[in-house]
Chains A and B, each alone.
Chain A
Amino acid sequence: DTEVTQTPKHLVMGMTNKKSLKCEQHMGHRAMYWYKQKAKKPPELMFVYSYEKLSINESVPSRFSPECPNSSLLNLHLHALQPEDSALYLCASSQGGINEKLFFGSGTQLSVL
């Protein structure tokens, strides 16, 4: 299994909603990532977990809350988002060191109304 699986594929939420994005990998990778990507822009790093511990937080607003329940799962909890948070949210994993070759999921396209 060489896949990173993200759910849901699409999400529409209001500014007062609470929702979660989920990511799963079964490649035995020890680092997992959340990226945000706006149209026609490169992915921007949000968070990195290494061995289930948060290693990097790129000064992301607290309305985004990551969680790594175990080595295969990564969640991103969303609360009180703004319309400008609408984007493609990508999960990725890598086998060893942080920021080595990344395997990306297909992403969740998020729209905040």
Chain B
Amino acid sequence: EDQVTQSPEALRLQEGESSSLNCSYTVSGLRGLFWYRQDPGKGPEFLFTLYSAGEEKEKERLKATLTKKESFLHITAPKPEDSATYLCAVYQLTGGGNKLTFGTGTQLKVEL
């Protein structure tokens, strides 16, 4: 069965304390992996697309990496404004067409 699992469920960091969020997946026909940021009561905001193992993308304090079984979102020297829920989503090709499966998210809180 296709699964996308994110860990930890929640993470509390001090400002400047770097860390990583994990998205592990067991799917066939992977075509890509997306990272989104979601603020409370808002829609997810696109961050990155990763297509193949070894690929890396960076944006400000965020860096996303991809292996054959998982993706990491590294947050370097986070600030309180980085507090949000981070969602990964796996895009795969199945017999029924393209399928997008979201992980359950990591809720990040960055404190002063």
Binding site for B on A (CB under 8 A): 4, 6, 40-43, 45, 88, 90-92, 97-107, 109
Max chain B C-beta neighbours (<10 A), residue from A4, A43, A103: A43
Q: For the complex formed, measure the closest distance between the CB of A57 and the CB atoms of chain B, giving whole angstroms.
A: 13
Please state if B41 and A107 are interface contacts (CB–CB under 8 Å). Answer: yes
* A62 CA / B100 CA spacing, docked (Å): 23
Sample 27 A-B pairs with CB under 8 A, ordered by A number. Answer: A40-B105, A40-B107, A41-B104, A42-B87, A42-B103, A42-B104, A43-B102, A45-B100, A90-B43, A90-B44, A91-B43, A97-B98, A99-B91, A99-B97, A99-B98, A99-B100, A101-B34, A101-B46, A101-B49, A102-B46, A103-B46, A104-B36, A104-B46, A105-B43, A106-B42, A107-B42, A109-B41
Quick one: CB contact mask for B77-112 with A, threshold 8 Å, 1 for yes?
000000000010001000001111011110100000
Q: Which residues of B contact A88 (CB under 8 A)?
A: 41
Size of B's binding interface in residues, CB under 8 A: 20
Please state if A104 and B104 are interface contacts (CB–CB under 8 Å). Answer: no
* A109 CA / B41 CA spacing, docked (Å): 7
Residue of B49, B91, B97, B105 touching A42 (CB-CB under 8 A): B105
Q: For the complex formed, measure the closest distance between the CB of B12 and the CB atoms of chain A, giving whole angstroms.
A: 16
Q: Which residue on B lies nearest to A41, using beta carbons?
A: B104
